[in-house]
Every structure is written in structure tokens, then in C-alpha cells.
Homo-oligomer: A and B are copies of this chain.
Amino acid sequence: MMSPMSELRPRWLSEEERAAWLALLSTTTLLPGALEGPLQQAAKLSLFDYNVLAMLSEASSRTLPMSELAARTSASLSRLSHVVKKLQGRGLVERATHADDARVTAATITAVGAELIRDLAPLHVETVRGLVFDQLDRRDVADLARIGRKIVRGMDAGHWILRTPAP
């Protein structure tokens, strides 16, 4: 389903597009590891582990169905299932079958897990600030939100982050 080569849809990218593309690719390659380092050191948690726990700790009643948790962490159900199993083994979350619909598993953060996230949050916020927001001015932050949401929308028009209107 490829369009033919034409001036309107050129084969490669313009100079501006290439600069943006390389910057985006480098960012997506480097940022996760840079964000994870401190979490790994402090608590042997991956960035994804942290996000799973953070999403649960922010949820009302500290519980979410696996599907909803997968949506909020942009993960497949398979990936999430493996990780929640691991976190359960560490005593940070629990799993329970939903009463009304036995297909649904609800994950709940434990007191230990909640305490861990509470203790880790300041460190993680500092990492995020240091790597991202300290590098950007106010206009950049607004632009980043706008652009990021557009890219996410292109991949998943119903993505969780789009439920909240743009600020």
C-alpha cells in the first residue's frame, strides 16, 4: 500500500524532518535507560516496574484491572502479566479475580509497594526534572505536550493520556 515516488511524498526526509527524526530516535533510545538507572540502583526496579506501581498508587482504591493498567502503562497484556507476577513475588502487588466478571484480574498495590513508591518518588521526579524539564523552557514544555500527544494519537487514538484534555 505504498504511494509512488513523487515530489509531494518524497522518498526520504527533508533536512528539517531528518533533524527531528534523529533527535526523536536518539531520545527514545537513550531516555528510558537514563530514567531507569537511579530506580535500578535504589530499588532494583525497572522504569516499567515503577510506572506500574505508580499507576496503581495513583488509582482510586489502589487497584486497577489488568487491561486498564496495561492501557495506562502503554503495555501489552502479556508484558504486564509477566511483570505483575514478578512484582507479586516481591510482595509489592497482589492479584484478585473480579467478583462480577471472573475474566478480570484486578491488581492492587500492597502497603509495602505503596511505601516503596512514596519513598522513591522524590528521587524519580528529580531524575525526570534533571533529564527533561531542566533542559526545557516553558514554551518547550507546551510544545512537547502538543507534539507528543499528536504522535501518540496517531498510534492509538483512544490512548489513556488523551482522555485528559490538553492543558
Residue numbers of A with Cβ under 8 A of B are 2-3, 5, 9, 11-13, 15-17, 19-32, 34, 51, 73-75, 121-123, 125-126, 128-136, 138, 140-156, 159-161, 164, 166-167
Taking CB atoms, residues of chain B closer than 8 Å to A11 are: 121-122, 125
Q: List 26 A-B contacts (CB under 8 A).
A: A2-B122, A2-B126, A3-B126, A11-B121, A12-B121, A16-B141, A19-B149, A19-B161, A19-B166, A19-B167, A20-B132, A20-B142, A20-B145, A22-B161, A23-B144, A24-B132, A26-B148, A26-B152, A26-B161, A27-B151, A29-B73, A30-B156, A31-B155, A136-B147, A143-B143, A143-B147
Of all chain B residues, which has the CB nearest A139? B143
Main secondary structure on chain A at its contact with chain B? helix
Q: Closest CB-CB distance, A83 to chain B, in whole Å?
A: 13
